[in-house]
Amino acid sequence: NAGVTQTPKFRVLKTGQSMTLLCAQDMNHEYMYWYRQDPGMGLRLIHYSVGEGTTAKGEVPDGYNVSRLKKQNFLLGLESAAPSQTSVYFCASATQGASGGPYEQYFGPGTRLTVT
**Site residues (CB under 8 A) for other proteins?**
31, 33, 35, 40-45, 48, 50, 54, 56-59, 90, 92, 94, 97, 99-105, 107-110
Q: Which is nearer to other proteins, 16 or 41 (CB)?
A: 41
Q: Which is nearer to other proteins, 19 or 43 (CB)?
A: 43
Query: What is each CA distance from 10 to 37, 60, 115, in whole angstroms?
Result: 14, 21, 11
Closest CA to 90 of 37, 49, 54, 39: 37
- Rounded to a whole number of angstroms, the minimum distance from the CB of residue 14 to other proteins is 27
